[in-house]
Structures are given as C-alpha cells and as structure tokens.
Amino acid sequence: MGDQSHLAPYSYLLIENNILRLGNKVAVGPFCGFFCHSNYFSEPGIPFCDSYVDGNILIGSNIFIGAQCIILPDTHIEDNVIVGANSLVKGTLENGHLYAGIPVKKIKRII
C-alpha cells in the first residue's frame, strides 16, 4: 500500500498467493471486496467447490473507489481513476476516467 492510501472499515481482502498492490493516494470506501482468488464456474466440475480463478489486482495512484465495490482477479486500475459506488470491476480501467456499474463501464473522461 502506497503513501497516503487507506481502506475504509469493513474492506475484505482475499489474496491467497497473488499480488494486491495499491499505489499512492488511493482511497477505498467502506465494504469493498478485493478478490485475487475467487470461485469460478466451468464445465465439468462442481460449481463453487472445484473451480477457482486467480489473478493479481494492481491499482495505480490517485484513485477513488466508492463504497461496496467488488474488485475481481486480473484487474488493473491505472492512475487517476474514480470507480463509482457498488461497481463490479474486472479488467483494465484506463487512466483519467470515471467508471461505474455492474459490470463496470467507462462513463466519462475526468482529466
């Protein structure tokens, strides 16, 4: 975790053997979940018992993540990004944009 960064109360971090990295000036709202290791449904197998997905979560600097967001494996949030509350995040969020929704979508440029 970088300088001047914080996780609000009730954040959940499931890292296992992966990497969760937060840059400088990252503000995470309450009740956010970061899942580097998660259940995954695939055929064949028993859902939620035999199938898992693993991946790193890399978060840049100057980031605001609103309350109750879920960040899934293999996510990269570049610098200068805002993530709206209650968003489901997976993939790459590009520098300088506002994102929100389930699944998260680019809303507008902020810088």
C-alpha–C-alpha distance, residues 90 and 7, integer Å = 19
> Which residue numbers in the chain have pLDDT < 70?
42-50
CA–CA dist 56, 73 (Å, integer):
6
| Residue 39 confidence (pLDDT) | 78
The pTM (predicted TM-score) of the whole model is 0.91
Residue 44: CB partners within 8 Å, gap ≥ 6?
A: none
pLDDT at residue 45 in the model? 60
Classify residue 5 by burial, with Cβ atoms within 10 Å: 0-12, 13-18, 19+: middle
Q: Which tokens sit at 56?
A: 């790193």
pLDDT for res 52:
82
Q: What is the three-class DSSP state of 55?
A: coil
